[in-house]
Amino acid sequence: MGMIEMHTWNALAARLEKPDRMVFDLDPGDGLGWERMQEAARLTRELLTELGLESFCKTSGGKGLHVVVPLTPQVGWDEVKGFSQAVAQHMASTLPKYFSAKMGKQNRRDKIFVDYLCNNRGSSTVAACSLRARSGMGVSVYPYRLG
């Protein structure tokens, strides 16, 4: 039933309308290896660094990685979602052989889906140190050191 998993919003309860983090959930297409995931996370972090944003990487507890950007809670959900969508679309248009910004398995054949939709109000991502009710890695670890 997935009851062991803990998921969190990107905002504290005290400032619910002002997110304090932004997450890029990197989801691999079938058959993509771990080295490719690490490369995707590195590329994502490099782009964010060029944009002046610090980021950290954590495992998702499944096949993917989360690139997390801490934010000073100043802007609302719409702004954070819009920015993360623009970053994801830029990645997909700049490196279309590597990334997709469109949901659906058919859009990530041999690609990594850059999921920005977890930056919506009410959306969540698995919490660090949370066990996952799935096979594979089974726990979300933060921070994850690339390479």
pLDDT value, residue 72: 93
pLDDT value, residue 110: 86
Q: Which helix (H) or strand (E) holds 92?
A: helix 77-94
Please provide the average confidence, as pLDDT, over all residues in the chain: 86
pLDDT digits 0-9 by tens, 4-53: 778 888 888 889 999 999 999 999 988 888 899 999 999 999 999 999 99
Mean pLDDT of 93-115: 86
* 141, pLDDT greater than 70: no
pLDDT value, residue 124: 83
Domains of the chain: 7-126 (3.90.920.10)
pLDDT digits 0-9 by tens, 51-94: 999 999 988 777 889 999 999 999 999 999 999 999 999 999 99
User: Residue 109 burial (CB < 10 Å; 0-12/13-18/19+)?
Assistant: exposed
